[in-house]
Structure 1
Amino acid sequence: MSVDKMYGTHPEVITPLLDAVGEAAMVLSFREDRTFAALSVGRFGAVGSTRLDWAGAEVIERCDSFDAEELHRLVASYAGADELAVVLWSNLAVPSVALPAALVALQAEAVLECSPECWIYLVDGGVLIEFQDGEGFTAGRIPR
């Protein structure tokens, strides 16, 4: 099965998040996902299969905490007012979601329950927050 046909085949994974945020979220098509990925996670090298290589990028903050409170704090700290956030998951079978960053902060627990790895791309500020369950968060500027 090709990647584009596999993309989004398990939307039930994000149902709790979508229920929590309502119509404020937009589930992205494969093309939209790939466009946002190219502007964010695609600008990093990889370490293993799902970790980003932050070498050469401006790391703003690393933290060992990996809970909803920490994600809430990070998004609230680095997102601008009315900023768009795109949540990309480590599994392409789960469709990416675009929504206001303020809702990502408020629904941080629902975001983290969807996958053991994800990236939150703060579109206006060019900041990416990487989440690796059990390892914490890294926030940094996306290389140009």
Structure 2
Amino acid sequence: MDVVLGGSQKCLSAPPGLTFLSISEDAWKCMENRKAPIRGFYTNLIKWKQMWYKDRIFPYTQPVSDIFGLSEAADMILEEGENVYIRHSRISRAVRETLKEAGFKVFPKNGAEADTVTAFYIPEGIDDEKFRRHLWERFNVMIAGSWGKLKRRRG
């Protein structure tokens, strides 16, 4: 993989607001050899690389509270150990199986699922907003909707 991007709120149980970024040498070379200039400061990773690795300048105020939150989340993961993965896998499997037993079509197909996100299609004729509100009000379960062509069709 040439570029890997992650967020602190995904899988780590840390507050949202931090991004993790890994860039391969090939990706750096591609950016350095591009013909069109990179517009803007925040989108120009070449400038960021120079500022941090060469000049040791960090160009904005550090989100200290987010970093403390990430540190605590990392400590909790290290304390729980590999059980973190086992717990996520067990719960996600149970959620998918329960949805299937209730007649929902789970997405993606078997073998391509993630243990941190479960998506399913809302059957035709069911209002997804009312369905999600019912889950929240009756069972204290919050699920996100979808967007684009799948808006109102997938939970």
Q: TM-score, normalised by structure 2?
A: 0.27
Greater per-residue helix proportion: 2
The higher-RCO structure (CA 8 Å, 6+ apart) is 1
Q: TM-score, normalised by structure 1?
A: 0.28
Larger Rg: 2
